[in-house]
Chain A
Amino acid sequence: AQRVTQPEKLLSVFKGAPVELKCNYSYSGSPELFWYVQYSRQRLQLLLRHISRESIKGFTADLNKGETSFHLKKPFAQEEDSAMYYCALSYPLMNTGFQKLVFGTGTRLLVSP
């Protein structure tokens, strides 16, 4: 079954430290992967998607098909990065054209001054 695993519930770092939020997925086809972020009292929003291969707010994520991973990284964390981060896998359901989105359980990033 398609699955997304985020092994850390909480990641606590100091401002300026590097950050890596781990995400592993289970899917036999070609995955489309996303990172969503939810800041305090705000709605869930897309942070980045692997096909864009872009850096958003200093975050990057590289799809590693061999390790089935899509870890989110930032070299220097900022206090405003404190939020809940969800990794998500999108895959097509057979014969429907529907792309289902499966989320991990999320990692709370806490950046302290």
Chain B
Amino acid sequence: DTGVSQDPRHKITKRGQNVTFRCDPISEHNRLYWYRQTLGQGPEFLTYFQNEAQLEKSRLLSDRFSAERPKGSFSTLEIQRTEQGDSAMYLCASSFTWRTEQFFGPGTRLTVL
């Protein structure tokens, strides 16, 4: 296990299309987080899972966004009916239950044309 992995690394899509990203956390980590990072900004929290339960969602996560973590392993983030404003880097991170240090993946860069 070499760390958090994300797939794909880059995604270009047309406005209105649906996209899905995958995150594989460090295997022994119970907590998984999704962030969004736009140009000139730091990562902004989107949502958080503890095992398979989605426990927190940011108001940034509109109803076009949905995240899942079946069986508490990998997670997917889906964006429906993409808009140009969704263009960003989507970061995944994971951590142990009892620690706050988060380990980040390389990110998926989404470009919506």
Contacts and interface: CB of A to CB of B under 8 A. Distances in A.
Given A32-B100, A49-B101, A103 B55 contact: no
A17 interface: no
Nearest to B4: A43
Contacts, number: 49
B48 to A, nearest CB: 6
A96 B41 CA distance: 27
Q: Across chains A and B, which 3 residue pairs bring their CB atoms closest together, nearest first?
A: A103-B42, A44-B104, A99-B100
Interface of B: 3-4, 33, 40-45, 48, 50, 55-56, 91, 100-107
B17 to A, nearest CB: 27
B44 A103 contact: yes
A90 B44 contact: no
For A43, A46, A86, A106, the residue with the greatest tally of chain B CB atoms inside 10 Å of its CB is A43
B104 A105 contact: no
Given A98-B55, A98-B56, A105 B40 contact: yes
14 contacts: A45-B103, A45-B104, A46-B101, A49-B101, A86-B42, A96-B56, A98-B55, A99-B100, A101-B102, A102-B45, A103-B42, A103-B43, A103-B44, A105-B40
A100 B45 contact: yes
A34 B42 CA distance: 13
A70 B105 CA distance: 25
B42 A105 contact: yes
A43 B56 contact: no
Given A32-B100, A43-B107, A45-B104, A101 B55 contact: no
Contacts of B106: 43
Nearest to A38: B104
Given A43-B105, A105-B41, 13 more contacts: A32-B100, A43-B106, A44-B104, A45-B103, A86-B42, A88-B42, A93-B56, A98-B48, A101-B43, A101-B100, A103-B42, A105-B40, A106-B42
Contacts of B103: 45-46
A104 B104 CA distance: 16
Contacts of A46: 101-103
